[in-house]
Amino acid sequence: MREVLAEAAFQLFLERGFERTTVDDIVARAGVGRRSFFRYFPSKEDAVFPDHESVLADMTAFLEAAGDERDPVDVVCDAAGLVLRMYAANPEFSVQRYRLTREVPGLRTYELSVVRRYERTLAEYLRRRWAAVPDGGLRAEVVAASVVAAHNNALRTWLRSGGEGDAEAAVERAFGLVRRVWGESAERDPGPAVAQEEVVVMVAPKGAPMWRVIQQVESALRDD
């Protein structure tokens, strides 16, 4: 019934527009009563995003089951990937919803609130993992925001393209940047060593001609 209502609502939103569609219109299209609608969706906005509650529950369960031996940054990247797979499972619907959301300010606001819930869920997991780390709380917030920003940048680029290309590969590339900056491997690897520059000290008589000074400098450098 939840899927039937969501499908009826979305069809009407596309046909008539979000603002001009009422709950009565939706239940009439679905062939059910108003009580059935509000049993599954508190508002019309919720009917546009019927899958986010289940994905949020899956993300929470995934994070709770993750072992402490894994890099926490890898874990939250994998958890955020659950959201991407939900979008990629139905590209046509995802693209249509993205376009509708861009047209209706209220839906955009609702979407941002959903994104914030994902971010809080990731941050709560990271705070637990980094409870004993200096500035662990701050690090958790920053990394969670980075993961969500990387995910959304790649996802929205894919949606704007009409769902063309490999969405999962694009998101994984974006997560690669997060892992390189914040992951445990980044902490262990300080990066390529920077060669120490040698300094040449030279003493020249006061009043020496400039050509003589330059000659001595060149000679000192060649002697290295």
CA 211/CA 144 separation, integer angstroms: 60
Residue whose structure tokens are 């060649």 = 222
**216, containing H or E segment:** helix 210-222
Q: What is the amino acid identity at position 66?
A: A
Average pLDDT of span 32-47: 89
Q: Which tens digit of pLDDT belongs to each residue from 68-87? A: 899 999 999 999 999 999 99
Share of the chain above pLDDT 70, in %: 82
pLDDT of amino acid 49: 87
pLDDT of residue 91: 92
pLDDT at 139: 95
**What percent of the chain has a predicted confidence (pLDDT) above 90?**
56
Q: What does pLDDT average to over the chain?
A: 86
Average pLDDT estimate for 187-197: 47
pTM of the model: 0.76
Banded pLDDT at 175 (limits 50, 70, 90):
very high
Under DSSP, is residue 51 helix (H, G, I), strand (E, B) or coil?
coil
Tell me how far apart the alpha carbons of residues 168 and 165 are, in angstroms, rounded to a whole number: 9
Q: Ranked by mean pLDDT, which of 1-5, 100-104, 128-132 comes out on top? A: 128-132
All domains of the chain, ordered by start, with CATH? 1-46 (1.10.10.60), 51-188 (1.10.357.10)
Among candidate residues 154, 1, 122, the one with its CA nearest the CA of residue 56:
122
Quote the pLDDT of residue 221.
Answer: 54
